[in-house]
């Protein structure tokens, strides 16, 4: 109870004043132009132009444009990075029209753009669409067959990446689509020691509409009067009726332990003031759902709310560029019942230091896919990741007639034509 009173006092009397500290330097200079020091700052500001060339395959429209034209909701859902990466590369200075000089080959297929009525991707079609696109590429160009795809990259922003299922046990059972095992996967999913994460995969942020977030920015002087904030599901009654699997029970534990705690502003409601509320909060919960990640990671960083990451063994986006340990708080899934003690025990100077780092514009930009693209944004961080993987080892190029991948491996349903 003493801790509770301490935080009510801080929220009521200190937070407004400290907003000035977070947004201004000690000598009155704006902190918003300060760069991160050390290697993280170097990576954030790295420029990929001139360090790699990418050839974009020209696929039939059924793999991308027709899917998008049929359902424009694809442009705003959390998987939209596959669409915007394609649009970006078409006009990027790293693009080459001469495949003989390409370092990387990109196949623009929108596997998550085939949506059900509820707006969710039809996961049972993902692998068939991807497999069909690879067959087309391998049949019409010689470059795939030189390496079995080892110099190709694919954007697979699904719950469990190229395992192509939203439920973990099903994703593990399927495994990564065999035809993608040598390719570099650019994916939102990342979890250490998991069958759905290849060595060398590039973990990226999910898509959160940048213009929409920009339209909801509040004054930087707005007090952070909410201690802990979360909006979202705690149970998935439709897909997990017994309630024991969704989020591995972590979200259910948040609700059961803190639904009546005055320091926790948590609900299943999604108010129109959602973005504004995040800017009024000190901590924003970022628990796993079906997969370890969600757009809340992006939103928390963009709005300067300290992300409380509850997802054991998560691999976070651009971890070589974004110092997640310095800007976030990590809580083990089993420790969720102690969230109130953990968060109220963090010293104020640590909170101020994390929020000062969150105010850095380079870090916010790296988590977004803006239009038009900006230096250091998520597009550029992906290209930086690809550039750091060059040159390709000599052993990725196969001998004439040599094949490594098994094109008929995997679930029988994946072999159906699409």
Domains and CATH numbers, the chain: 2-34+209-366 (3.40.50), 54-207+374-412 (no CATH)
pLDDT of 14 > 70? The answer is no
In the prediction, which pLDDT does 348 show?
97
Which pLDDT value is given to residue 389? 96
Q: What is the pLDDT of residues 347-400, one digit of tens each?
A: 999 999 999 999 999 999 999 999 999 999 999 999 999 999 999 999 999 999
Question: Long-range pairs for 208-212 at CB < 8 Å and ≥24 separation?
Answer: 208/78, 208/295, 208/298, 208/299, 208/302, 208/368, 209/76, 210/368, 210/369, 210/370, 210/371, 211/371, 212/275
Beta bridge partners of 286: 309
Q: Are 288 and 274 in contact (CB under 8 A)?
A: no
Range name among 48-57, 116-125, 274-283, 355-364 with the lowest pLDDT average: 116-125
C-alpha 63/C-alpha 338 separation (Å) is 47
Output Rg (C-alpha) for the chain, integer angstroms: 22
> What residues form DSSP beta bridges with 54?
95, 104
pLDDT for 172 beyond 50: yes
Is it the case that residue 272 has pLDDT exceeding 90? yes
> Which helix (H) or strand (E) segment is 365 a member of?
helix 361-366
CA distance 101 to 144: 14
Helix (H) or strand (E) holding 85: helix 81-90
- pLDDT at residue 21, as a whole number: 35
Q: Token pair for residue 117?
A: 């009525």
**CA separation, residue 52 to residues 139, 200, 262, 350 (Å):** 25, 17, 52, 39
Rounded average pLDDT over 232-260: 92
């Amino acid at each position: 109870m003493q801790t509770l009173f301490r935080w009510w006092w801080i929220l009521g009397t200190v937070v407004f004043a400290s907003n000035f500290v977070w947004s201004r330097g000690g000598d009155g200079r704006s902190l918003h132009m300060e760069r991160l020091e050390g290697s993280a700052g170097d990576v954030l500001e790295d420029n990929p132009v001139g360090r790699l060339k990418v050839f974009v395959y020209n696929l039939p429209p059924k793999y991308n444009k027709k899917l998008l034209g049929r359902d424009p909701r694809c442009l705003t859902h959390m998987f939209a990075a596959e669409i915007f990466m394609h649009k970006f590369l078409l006009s990027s200075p790293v693009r080459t029209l001469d495949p003989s000089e390409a370092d990387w080959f990109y196949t623009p297929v929108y596997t998550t753009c085939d949506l059900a009525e509820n707006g969710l991707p039809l996961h049972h079609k993902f692998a068939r669409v991807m497999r069909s696109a690879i067959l087309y590429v391998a049949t019409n160009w010689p470059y795939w067959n030189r390496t079995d795809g080892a110099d190709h990259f694919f954007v697979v922003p699904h719950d469990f990446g190229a395992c192509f299922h939203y439920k973990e046990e099903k994703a593990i059972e399927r495994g990564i689509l065999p035809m993608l095992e040598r390719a570099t996967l650019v994916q939102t999913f990342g979890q250490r020691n998991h069958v759905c994460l290849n060595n060398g995969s590039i973990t990226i942020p999910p898509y959160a509409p940048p213009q929409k977030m920009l339209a909801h920015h509040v004054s930087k002087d707005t007090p952070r009067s909410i201690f802990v904030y979360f909006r979202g599901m705690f149970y998935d009654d439709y897909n997990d009726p017994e309630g024991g699997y969704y989020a591995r029970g972590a979200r259910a534990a948040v609700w059961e332990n803190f639904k009546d705690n005055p320091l926790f502003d948590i609900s299943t409601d999604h108010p129109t003031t959602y973005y504004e509320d995040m800017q009024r909060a000190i901590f924003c919960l970022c628990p796993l759902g079906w997969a370890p990640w969600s757009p809340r990671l992006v939103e928390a960083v963009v709005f300067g709310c300290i992300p409380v990451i509850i997802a054991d063994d998560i691999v976070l986006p651009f971890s070589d560029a974004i110092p997640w340990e310095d800007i976030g708080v990590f809580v083990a899934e089993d420790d969720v019942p102690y969230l109130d003690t953990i968060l109220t025990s963090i010293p104020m100077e640590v909170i101020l230091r994390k929020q000062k780092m969150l105010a850095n514009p380079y870090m916010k930009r790296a988590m977004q896919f803006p239009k038009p693209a900006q230096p250091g944004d998520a597009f550029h961080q992906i290209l930086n990741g690809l550039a750091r993987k060059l040159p390709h080892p000599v052993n990725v190029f196969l001998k004439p007639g040599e094949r490594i991948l098994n094109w008929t491996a995997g679930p029988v349903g994946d072999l159906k034509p699409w």
